[in-house]
Amino acid sequence: MTTSTTPRLPGEPALSALELAVPRPEPADASPHTFPDGGRWRTEVPSCEGPEALAVVLKESARLDVPLHRISQGSGIWMLTDAEITEMVEACAERDIELCLFTGPRGTWDTGAATRTDSGGGGLRARGHSALAGCVEDAVRATELGVRCLLVADEGVLWTLHRARATGILPADTTLKVSALIGPVNPASYAVYERLGADSLNVPSDLTLDHLTEIRRVSAAPMDMYIEAPDDLGGYVRMYELAELIRRGAPLYLKFGLAKAPGLYPSGRHMRDTVLDTARERVRRGRLALDLLARHGAEGGMSPLGSRLPGTLHRFEHTEPGGN
């Protein structure tokens, strides 16, 4: 891990010469937290929908020199064969990259009609006991095949998988990541998700810098944020805020999403060209983000490659099955 001097603000030299200088950030707004390795940020390429897309991401990240801590998938564990999961696990293990797969099924693919109304109904949450059971089945299957990070879009599923981890049904080093589609938007909800078992929490990409500071006053749990959000999450592009997002939101995963791209979930061979093209471009977006950080003198503070665990977090107490 390297350290950096105080980064410059975007456009600062030119604007200062024109007497339009931007006020310096308040020191008190900075997050006091880091990952357990001392790093303040890590990287993630999302929407890597199978072994072929993973191979493209790994090849492109090597070509463009984009360091990767985590690669995640969105269609769901149930959309992959055992052989495909094993191939992805082995490829990531060779490069010491964390692989995160999504538990399913989830509400938008269920028979419930409410998710297709203007309100969105219950959204991505697992509807009924059968959907909860499907998510648990996915989690057990994936971890038995070597996956150690699970993406979750339901509070009940999160708490259930956390309990399963605590009782040994899932490996103790399994990490649980909250999806951007149910991400918390205030300090209290962020703290609740942490206590339910979350090790990494996606927050919506429209949260302000002040919102991040407010969250960091109550929780040190790692935060995930799309630096460029998919269109169904708003399509926001926050490249020029990167240094300040890290300063306020650390420990922070920088997610290299892609706006103006077709939705991929659930993916399959009928979408092969789109999946591979968008996977390649997400890595390129990562290179653009890292170049911007370097130009502003803010590239320091990255976690060592291979880092994945979140450190000690706060949890709700729970009783074992059959306990009082």
Whether residue 16 is contained in a domain is answered as no
Element (H, E) at 134: helix 128-144
**Cβ pair 152, 161 in contact under 8 A:** yes
pLDDT at residue 19 in the model? 84
List, for residues 65-118, the tens digit of each pLDDT value. 999 999 999 999 999 999 999 999 999 999 999 999 999 877 666 676 566 656
**What's 201's DSSP letter?**
E
Residues facing residue 177 across a β-bridge: 151, 200
Distance (Å) of CA 38 to CA 2, 41, 201, 243, 293: 10, 9, 19, 17, 19
Longest dimension (CA), the chain: 70
Model confidence, pTM: 0.92
Distance (Å) of CA 230 to CA 141, 204, 282: 29, 11, 11
Whether residue 190 is contained in a domain is answered as yes
Whether residue 6 is contained in a domain is answered as no
Query: What is the average per-residue pLDDT within 296-324?
Result: 88
List, for residues 38-52, the tens digit of each pLDDT value. 999 999 999 999 999
Whether residue 275 is contained in a domain is answered as yes
pLDDT at residue 186 in the model? 97
pLDDT at residue 120 in the model? 60
List, for residues 159-176, the tens digit of each pLDDT value. 999 999 999 999 999 999
- Res. 123: pLDDT tops 70: no
The mean predicted confidence, pLDDT, of the chain is 91
pLDDT at residue 107 in the model? 60
Structure tokens at 89: 């696990």
Neighbours of 46 (CB within 10 A): 25
**Higher pLDDT among residues 184 and 106, named by residue:** 184
- Res. 246: pLDDT tops 80: yes
- Res. 1: pLDDT tops 50: no
Query: What is the average per-residue pLDDT within 304-312?
Result: 96
Query: What is the number of structural domains in the chain?
Result: 1
Structure tokens at 219: 């929780």
- Res. 119: pLDDT tops 60: no
**Higher pLDDT among residues 122 and 301, named by residue:** 301
Structure tokens at 74: 């969105």
Whether residue 211 is contained in a domain is answered as yes
List, for residues 19-39, the tens digit of each pLDDT value. 888 788 888 999 999 999 999
pLDDT at residue 8 in the model? 87
Whether residue 252 is contained in a domain is answered as yes
**Cβ pair 174, 149 in contact under 8 A:** yes
Whether residue 2 is contained in a domain is answered as no
Q: Is 41 helix (H, G, I), strand (E, B) or coil?
A: strand
Pairing of strands 252-256, 70-72: unpaired
Per DSSP (E only), the strands in the chain are 41-45, 70-72, 98-102, 149-152, 175-178, 200-202, 223-228, 252-256
CA atoms within 13 Å, Cβ hemisphere of 103:
32
Structure tokens at 206: 């429209």
Query: Any idea what the CATH number is for the domain that residue 194 is in?
Result: 3.20.20.70
Predicted confidence band of residue 288 (pLDDT cuts 50, 70, 90): very high
pLDDT at residue 4 in the model? 45
Whether residue 274 is contained in a domain is answered as yes
By the 10 Å C-beta count (0-12 exposed, 13-18 middle, 19+ buried), 210 is classed as exposed
Residue 126, domain extent: 33-108+120-295
* Backbone Cα Rg of the chain: 19
Structure tokens at 60: 């492109």
